[in-house]
């Protein structure tokens, strides 16, 4: 059943907590993402980004709190909630001895919704892998593998795509291609993005909104340009440290 919810919120995280082995990993976090956002989930190594993204995609379960996607709780309504979500959590894994197209055909077979051959060709074309679709994935660069990961996430025509550190290890050219692709998908295909990264500066020209996480807590969140102005800094790295400093003096 559809919950009462801010109409435009595509993702809403409410009072989320996660303990592992008696240790609090995620400490009562809240944030929401509106349709059309490219939302950065930013913080240093070990802050709790992947743990949160794994809870959103139901790979692990929270101890308390809830997550709503398009108004559906992932606890009580998980099939509907996740029906419009594509994700790459940790590295995308593909069969290296198979071609890009063969990998997507396998994924399509496992998908909850029917994926046509036409859609497979379409997503290969969107991520600019059409010309190499029959080449084995083992011949692909990391950037190409990341784009194939995005093609895979696109198969079921999601409205929300969740990417965990999509730029990890990608060279500057691959990084630029990845950002261009994400911006294109947000604008032309109406896809909302939640993107985690510890590379704060790299995310500056990509994310329009962001939440900063450290030690399992959200230290600041909001519109990136408004935050930069408020804290009187010029980049996301300085913004993060300014937020931390302010919290320490609170």
Ligand X SMILES: Nc1ncnc2c1ncn2[C@@H]1O[C@H](COP(=O)(O)OP(=O)(O)OP(=O)(O)O)[C@@H](O)[C@H]1O
Residues forming contacts to Mg ion in the complex (CB under 5 A) are 49-50
Q: Looking up tokens 């909850």, which residue turns up?
A: 112
Q: Does 50 bind ligand X (CB under 6 A)?
A: yes
Q: Which SS3 state, helix, strand or coil, does residue 151 take? A: helix
The gap from C-alpha 151 to its chain's centroid, in whole angstroms, comes to 14
CB closer to ligand X out of 14 and 217: 217
The span from the CA of 69 to the CA of 23, in Å, is 27
The gap from C-alpha 193 to its chain's centroid, in whole angstroms, comes to 6
Crossing angle of the two packed helices 100-110 and 142-154, in degrees rounded to 10? 30
Given Mg ion, ligand X, none, residue 173, with its beta carbon under 5 to 8 Å by kind, binds none
Q: Does 40 bind ligand X (CB under 6 A)?
A: no
CB closer to ligand X out of 49 and 133: 49
Given ligand X, Mg ion, none, residue 40, with its beta carbon under 5 to 8 Å by kind, binds none
Q: Does 57 bind ligand X (CB under 6 A)?
A: no
CB of 48: closest distance to ligand X in angstroms?
4
CB of 54: closest distance to ligand X in angstroms?
8
Closest by CA position to 205, among listed 241, 181, 236, 231: 236
Q: Does 22 bind ligand X (CB under 6 A)?
A: no
CB closer to ligand X out of 104 and 236: 236
Q: Using CB under 6 A, which residues numbered 178 to 217 contact ligand X?
A: 198
| Interface region with ligand X, contact rule CB under 6 A, candidates 46-54, 78-86, 113-121, 133-141 | 46-54
The span from the CA of 238 to the CA of 79, in Å, is 40
Given Mg ion, ligand X, none, residue 47, with its beta carbon under 5 to 8 Å by kind, binds ligand X
């Amino acid at each position: 059943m559809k919950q009462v919810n801010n109409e435009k919120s595509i993702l809403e995280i409410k009072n989320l907590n996660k303990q592992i082995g008696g240790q609090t990993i995620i400490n009562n976090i809240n944030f929401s993402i509106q349709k059309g956002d490219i939302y950065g989930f930013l913080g240093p190594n070990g802050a709790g980004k992947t743990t949160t993204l794994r809870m959103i995609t139901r790979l692990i379960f929270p101890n308390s709190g809830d997550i709503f996607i398009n108004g559906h709780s992932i606890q009580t309504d998980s099939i509907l909630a996740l029906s419009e979500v594509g994700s790459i959590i940790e590295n995308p894994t593909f069969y290296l001895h198979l071609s890009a197209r063969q990998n997507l055909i396998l994924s399509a077979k496992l998908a909850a919704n029917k994926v046509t051959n036409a859609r497979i060709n379409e997503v290969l074309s969107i991520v600019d892998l059409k010309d190499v679709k029959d080449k084995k994935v083992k011949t692909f660069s990391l950037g190409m593998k990341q784009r194939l990961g995005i093609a895979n996430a696109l198969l079921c025509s999601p409205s929300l795509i969740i990417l965990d550190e999509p730029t990890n290890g990608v060279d500057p050219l691959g990084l630029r291609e990845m950002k261009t692709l994400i911006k294109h998908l947000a604008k032309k295909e109406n896809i909302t993005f939640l993107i985690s990264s510890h590379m704060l500066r790299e995310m500056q020209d990509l994310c329009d909104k962001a939440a900063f996480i450290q030690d399992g807590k959200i230290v600041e969140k909001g519109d990136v340009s408004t935050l930069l102005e408020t804290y009187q800094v010029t980049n996301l790295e300085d913004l993060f440290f300014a937020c931390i400093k302010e919290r320490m003096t609170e």
